[in-house]
């Protein structure tokens, strides 16, 4: 009789003991996985973390940094050549400067061949001829006059057109800007021309 009661008591204690029914004191199953304690990362963030490989040493980190900087500079230079506003230096930014470039590039001018003329003049300097030495200063004066006259007219035209199309925009320095671009060889202009000769601006 006493043995049966003792056995029943032990069974009851065994059933009420923590973990006996598959749960702990908090009522959680030990087989359940505890939370991570942080939000699950997005797929894009997880892929970005997998793609990025931290450099093993300082030299490798410097090499990767230089490579990224070189790629960024190349991308910005190409954008400058195309005339994209975000990549242009301050002296080339703005609708007035863009109009000046397009207006200058829309026509062929004698000033554009100024650099070729200088090469010819330098070659003539080495010719010991009295005729050449007499004509050379005259040619130089004519070239300077052509540059001044064309620069004046193109600058005035750009200023008038800019004031008409962009009222309120500053035209300070636009005449000199236009004249200097007209002196450059077309293939070497920077930003490169967006319009072809003969186009209407």
pLDDT tens digits for range 62-99: 888 888 888 888 888 888 888 888 899 999 999 999 99
Backbone angles phi, psi at 27, to 5 degrees: 90, 10
Q: Which residue range forms the structural domain that includes residue 128?
A: 90-188
Domains held by the chain: number: 1
pTM over 0.75: no
Q: Is residue 4 part of a domain?
A: no
Q: Is residue 159 part of a domain?
A: yes
pLDDT digits 0-9 by tens, 120-142 = 888 888 887 888 888 888 999 99
Q: Cβ(159)–Cβ(97) under 8 Å?
A: no
Q: Is residue 122 part of a domain?
A: yes
Q: Is residue 95 part of a domain?
A: yes
Least confident of 4-18, 52-66, 160-174: 4-18
Q: Is residue 152 part of a domain?
A: yes
The dihedral built from the CA positions of residue 75, 79, 85 and 89, taken in this order, carries a sign that is positive
């Amino acid at each position: 009789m006493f043995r049966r009661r003792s056995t029943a008591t032990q069974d009851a204690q065994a059933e009420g003991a923590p973990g006996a029914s598959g749960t702990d004191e908090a009522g959680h199953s030990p087989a359940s996985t505890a939370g991570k304690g942080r939000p699950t990362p997005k797929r894009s963030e997880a892929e970005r973390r997998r793609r990025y490989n931290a450099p093993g040493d300082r030299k490798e980190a410097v090499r990767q940094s230089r490579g990224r900087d070189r790629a960024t500079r190349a991308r910005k230079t190409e954008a400058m050549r195309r005339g994209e506003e975000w990549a242009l230096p301050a002296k080339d930014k703005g609708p007035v400067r863009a109009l000046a470039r397009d207006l200058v590039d829309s026509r062929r001018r004698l000033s554009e061949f100024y650099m070729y003329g200088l090469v010819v003049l330098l070659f003539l300097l080495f010719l010991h001829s009295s005729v050449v030495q007499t004509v050379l200063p005259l040619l130089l004066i004519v070239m300077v006059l052509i540059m001044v006259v064309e620069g004046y007219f193109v600058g005035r035209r750009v200023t008038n057109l800019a004031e008409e199309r962009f009222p309120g925009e500053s035209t300070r320095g636009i005449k000199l800007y236009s004249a200097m671009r007209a002196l450059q060889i077309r293939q070497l202009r920077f930003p490169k021309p967006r319009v072809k000769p003969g186009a209407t601006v």
